Amino acid sequence: MPRENRKRGKKHKKPAEEEWQPPKPAPVHEFLPSAEPSWVIQDPDQLQLEQDSPFGVIDADVKAYFRTVDVQLREWQSEDVDKGLDEGEGEDPSEGRRLFFTAAMEEMSGKETQLATDPECSIVLERMIYSMDDFARRVLADRFSGSFDKLIKHRFASHVCQTLFAQAGHTVARELRSGSKPVKSDDGELRTMSRLIPDICEELLDDFTSFLHDHYASHVIRALFILLVPSIPQEGTAKDATRSKRSAKWKSRQGPLKSVFTSEKGKEKVTEALPVPEEFSTWARTLLDTLKKRWNENEIRAMATDVRACPLLKVLLEAEAELGITDATGSLFDSVTEGSLSYDGESEPPFSHFLATLLRDTTSSHLMETLLNIAPPAAFNLMWSTYIRGQLSRLADHPVANFVVAKGFEKLDESQLKNAFEELQGGWSRIVAGSRIGVLKALILRSGALRCCEDEANTAVLSAFGIQEESDGPRIIQCALRQLSLSVPTSGIYISAHTLIFTYFRNYKTSISLSLPTEIKPQTHAPNPKSKVPSSSSPSSAFPSHQINSTSTAMSPEEIISLAHSPISSRVLDALLDSETVPLKSKRKFVVSLIGHFHVLVDDRIGSRVGDRCWAFADTYLKEKIARSLFPHEAALSASFYGKFFARGLSLYLLKRKPDEWKEMQKNRSQGIRTNSAAGSNSAVPLYGSNATSAPPAASPAAVAKPEKKRKERPEDEIDAVFKRSSGKKAKRSGALDAPPLVVQEVPVVARQPKKPASDLDAIFKAIRSAPNEGKKKKT
């Protein structure tokens, strides 16, 4: 082919003949039961949208507005309420917040259900519920009425309903105190919260059993029962008692949820249950009766193994106990325990494999603890003798069952407690090595509550940590705090080779060494071996009084200081000083043993608080000995970051100059009497040490206020008389810029000479020229 006829690009092939293919079959859809014809194909995306937003999708502009509301409320909730928006402008800080919050409430009106089901706006609505007043909460609950069956099953709206029920208890309590009544208007009647809650229960009654196993509705039913029966004990924090661990973790990332109008500072935690109407208890009984009528015993017991329904069943059992219907035949307790209430005591006790499984199951063990706690005495004795007694050695060492055993120890009588000590004898070292320390603590606490088996408790503590000689007795507290044995257990327990080596390196004598620094250095603290467990689960917090007395007073000051510098073990020393069973002589001996080491003790964040407790316990004579022992370390304490706070309360400079007055001041302080000291300190301001750089704290205006001293009065001259006669006001001294007004005495006015009348201005100049210079202020 000639070159000029060639063209660039790929060579196009001739189109091939298309092969014949059979037609594709029509897609097969899973048709939902509906009244629509079978040929109507529903869009899966549309179905999912209807499930996620059953009340419609909120507008994008409204969602953007509530994002700004969320940012502003989060900022206000994270700061102190007293700071406010208009700080420094002299206005009420809550006024600007109320205007902003009112605008958000107006924008929310009519869109409550849409906001509650939106993924982003539901947390905004939940955040606003904490700041709503009682009227706004009633309006929100009224807008939700008729839709609660859908809201509590929704992924996001369920948490809004849960928060609403949690905060409704305070509204109901205030309505009972004030006697609130429904509000009537053109739009209808706004019911009170005391009337709305029973109406909500009536709305949920038809589908009540369908909510028990639901992933989102179960925790809302828990919050509803806690509202109906406020005396239900709530474990952990009251705010997250109805939330799962995952939900509580997510909620903690949202920042503090509280009111932006009222400050929570200085408010004590309310431990008593909020008052509710009698109708609430009636509706709680109605809901429980509905469950027992619709479900049989097997369906009720099936809730114990469900992760979502088991916490709800636990709340239902506690509500039943608070209502006083646990002993009734056919109750939830009777159904779960398989007829333990009907046992007559003559025949062989029934054995349930279901209850035996609850002991070792991770989910159901919490339910078993509740059953033991609320069981009547006869039912408890039956359950204890059937499922726990005789197996204590294995159950106490089980990773799950040991919590149930520790809970059961709280209801043992004296004979059962002795049997428990005998059954566990010889196995305490294995139990402590497996970190099942709660069993030992529960036994010691029960022994102290019943005032019995103290010798058995002492023997159990000694054997648990491998202490055989009396000289090693003072090591009990340190061993218990670290869960380490004093010697390797070799008798009575099978230990493999690798376990023996591991236990040897965990041995107390080889792993802990204590030393006391000779001098204080800023930001430097003594070596402190860390404790392994918190004091709440440590047996040292539950030691018998004689055990604490014998061990703490025999420890060296270096060991006591090492305990005092730990945030965990320092609570043991607090318990020693606060205990009513420890003799005063032992407490005094403990404080005296620290004299000469207080400068090291208080040079720590935690140790300084222990030093304050020792100082508060000591009498005047002992305080003087402590203060005089710190004279050589006065400069080091003043330079210490933590020690200077302890040194300020000692008033060492006053002790050096006027010891008698120092003793009187300490005596008055111990009696709660405030007196002025000769050093010139105010009665409301504590005496400070020799640190010249530290300034005393600002006293209250009432304490600083002093009567004003009147300036020395001077006789009125002719100028004062003329000005008083002409203006009728008090005269001011010339040349005094900021001086307070003078007090002018009433003197007779000098009469004018009738022979030579003159104007007031001539009299003024004449008086100025003839006035003496005694009353004028000297120039500086």
Residue 636 Cα distances to 399, 641, 647, 690, angstroms = 50, 10, 10, 11
| Residues 491-539: tens digit of each pLDDT | 333 333 333 333 333 444 444 433 344 444 443 333 344 455 444 444 4
3-state secondary structure 279-307: HHHHHHHHHHHHHHHHCCHHHHHHHHHCC
As given in the structure block, the two tokens for residue 446 are 């029960």
pLDDT value for 494: 35
Using pLDDT thresholds of 50, 70 and 90, give the confidence band for residue 705.
very low
HSE of 638 in the Cβ direction (CA atoms, 13 Å)?
A: 16
Using pLDDT thresholds of 50, 70 and 90, give the confidence band for residue 167.
very high
pLDDT value for 157: 93
What is the value of pTM for the model shown?
Answer: 0.69
- CA angle in degrees (0–180, nearest 5) for 527-531-534: 140
- CA angle in degrees (0–180, nearest 5) for 691-694-696: 115
Can you tell me the distance from the alpha carbon of 352 to that of 323, in angstroms, rounded to the nearest whole number?
27
DSSP string, 747-775: -PPPPPPSSS---HHHHHHHHHHHS-STT
Percent of the chain with pLDDT over 90: 31
pLDDT value for 52: 76
| Residues 383-427: tens digit of each pLDDT | 999 999 989 989 999 999 999 999 999 999 999 999 999 999 888
Dihedral, CA atoms, 497, 498, 499, 500, nearest 10 degrees?
A: 50
Using pLDDT thresholds of 50, 70 and 90, give the confidence band for residue 557.
confident
Q: What share of the chain is helix, strand, coil (3-state, %, to 5)?
A: 55, 0, 45
Can you tell me the distance from the alpha carbon of 477 to that of 462, in angstroms, rounded to the nearest whole number?
11
Residue 472 pLDDT exceeds 90: no
Q: Taking the CA atoms of the chain, what radius of gyration do you get in angstroms?
A: 40
pLDDT value for 253: 78
| Residues 358-380: tens digit of each pLDDT | 999 998 999 999 999 999 999 99
Mean pLDDT across the chain, nearest whole number? 74
Percent of the chain with pLDDT over 70: 64
Looking up tokens 């105010």 gives: 682
Task: Please report, as a single letter, which amino acid is at residue 16.
Answer: A
DSSP H helix total and E strand total for the chain: 41, 2
Can you tell me the distance from the alpha carbon of 427 to that of 393, in angstroms, rounded to the nearest whole number?
7
Does 381 or 42 have the greater pLDDT score?
381
Do residues 140 and 100 make contact, with C-beta atoms less than 8 angstroms apart? no
pLDDT value for 673: 57
